[in-house]
């Protein structure tokens, strides 16, 4: 893998702050740092609360995409799901309308400031909009303990869930909730237990999940993610982390190179942005996005440039994270 110098990275770095359509994951603005490598533009956008060690995997992923060729693509379009934040039921139809043609919706649940009753009402509204043939998956972001997860899954089961994503934080709790809810026949997916773990294969080896949610940038890049998929031997959903269209293009390249891709992917989240870095964003059309590299528009980079203070913060973070990556080049590797 080609490794640019820090000066190489800083020479093209642009920091943007993009407003969201709806508050999501506790934020109203998504910040990202974009870089141009010899193979095109790439993105470094770990969430601001992540420490430098965790963020170094994201930088590894950004470098992989910008400084190396992508693996051969097996498909040129990726079917994607709609993403429904923790909105009121009355807002669900408007959210889903931003994802034209999508047959699957991922619904956020288990937020600390919301109740299970609110989650149930939101999922019910999604089912009403999608109809009986639509697919619904819920994402708890590890917000429940085992007892809460069992109760919630039982309450949501009437809506014919495709799967429940990361109901609990710990791997041993995922094992337990799979046992407790096996009779319901609802699969359990792991996200944080893969991308935030020192050993991303531990969840599969423990039998803690039926499928894995794979994200290119947090896992250190497309190649490393593909090695995880091969070693885990489980079905996967390729997803994003509220990226710009540049970052979504990285995810689409990963999804295009996965051999078996039976689930709609979480790569339609440009629909949650009120602005993007390109005039041709990777928005869902007929329920899918194209597999292509994205070139930012200079005028949009200027229009949505982060403040000088936030730009300095990101550039300093880039330097610190680069040092972590340089001093421990194999820390995120799957050999």
139 is in an annotated binding site: yes
Instruction: Specify if 200 maps to a domain.
Output: yes
Which position has the token pair 């642009």? 14
Instruction: Specify if 64 maps to a domain.
Output: yes
Instruction: Specify if 333 maps to a domain.
Output: no
214 and 135 co-located in one domain: yes
158 and 221 co-located in one domain: yes
The DSSP code for 285 is B
92 and 194 co-located in one domain: yes
pLDDT digits (tens, 9 = 90+) for 174-214: 999 999 999 999 999 999 999 888 899 999 999 999 999 99
Nearest-angstrom CA–CA distance, 160 and 179:
19
96 and 223 co-located in one domain: yes
Contacts of 66 (CB under 8 A, 6+ apart): 35, 36, 37, 38, 39, 40, 41, 42
Instruction: Specify if 166 maps to a domain.
Output: yes
* Lowest mean per-residue pLDDT among 94-108, 110-124, 195-209: 195-209
15 and 89 co-located in one domain: no
101 and 176 co-located in one domain: yes
Question: What pLDDT sits at residue 22?
Answer: 85
Q: Domain range for residue 127?
A: 77-290
28 is in an annotated binding site: no
Give catalytic residue positions.
108, 215
> How far apart, in Å, do the first and last CA atoms of the chain sit?
14
Instruction: Specify if 57 maps to a domain.
Output: yes
55 and 113 co-located in one domain: no
pLDDT digits (tens, 9 = 90+) for 1-47: 678 999 999 999 999 999 999 888 788 999 999 999 999 999 999 99
Instruction: Specify if 334 maps to a domain.
Output: no
Residue 154 Cα distances to 58, 148, 182, 211, 313, angstroms: 35, 10, 11, 20, 44
65 and 124 co-located in one domain: no
Q: CATH no. for residue 25?
A: 3.30.390.10
Helix (H, G, I), strand (E, B) or coil at 264: coil
90 is in an annotated binding site: no
Q: Which ranges of the chain does DSSP label H, i.e. alpha helix?
A: 6-12, 52-67, 92-97, 116-130, 146-156, 171-180, 192-195, 202-205, 222-232, 245-257, 298-303, 308-327
Burial class of residue 68 in the structure, from the number of CB atoms within 10 Å of its CB (0-12 exposed, 13-18 middle, 19+ buried)? middle
Nearest-angstrom CA–CA distance, 206 and 259:
23
Contact predicate 245/277, CB 8 Å: yes
How many independent structural domains does the chain possess? 2
């Amino acid at each position: 893998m080609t490794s640019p110098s820090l000066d190489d990275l800083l020479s093209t770095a642009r920091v943007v702050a993009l407003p969201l359509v709806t508050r999501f994951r506790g934020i109203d603005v998504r910040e990202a740092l974009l870089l141009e490598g010899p193979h095109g533009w790439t993105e470094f956008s770990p969430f601001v609360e992540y420490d430098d060690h965790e963020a170094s995997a994201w930088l590894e992923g950004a470098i992989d995409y910008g400084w190396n060729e992508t693996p051969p693509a097996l498909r040129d379009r990726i079917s994607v799901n709609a993403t429904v934040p923790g909105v009121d039921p009355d807002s669900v139809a408007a959210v889903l309308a931003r994802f034209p043609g999508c047959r699957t919706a991922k619904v956020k649940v288990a937020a600390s400031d919301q109740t299970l009753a609110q989650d149930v009402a939101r999922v019910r509204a999604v089912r009403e909009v999608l109809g009986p043939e639509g697919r619904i998956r819920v994402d708890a972001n590890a917000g429940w303990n085992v007892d809460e997860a069992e109760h919630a899954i039982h309450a949501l089961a009437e809506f014919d869930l495709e799967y429940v994503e990361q109901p609990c934080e710990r791997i041993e709790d995922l094992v337990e909730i799979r046992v407790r809810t096996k009779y319901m026949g609802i699969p359990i997916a792991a996200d944080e237990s893969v991308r935030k773990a020192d050993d991303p294969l531990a969840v599969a080896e423990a039998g803690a999940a039926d499928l894995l949610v794979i994200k290119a940038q947090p896992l250190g890049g497309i190649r490393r993610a593909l090695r995880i998929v091969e070693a885990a031997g489980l079905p996967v959903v390729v997803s994003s982390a509220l990226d710009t269209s540049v970052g979504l293009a990285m995810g689409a390249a990963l999804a295009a190179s996965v051999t078996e891709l039976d689930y709609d992917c979480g790569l339609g989240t440009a629909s949650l942005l009120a602005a993007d870095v390109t005039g041709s964003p990777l928005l869902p059309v007929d329920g899918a996005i194209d597999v292509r590299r994205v070139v930012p528009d200079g005028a949009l980079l200027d229009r949505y440039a982060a403040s000088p203070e936030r730009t300095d913060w990101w550039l300093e973070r880039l330097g610190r994270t680069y040092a972590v990556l340089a001093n421990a080049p194999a820390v995120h590797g799957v050999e």
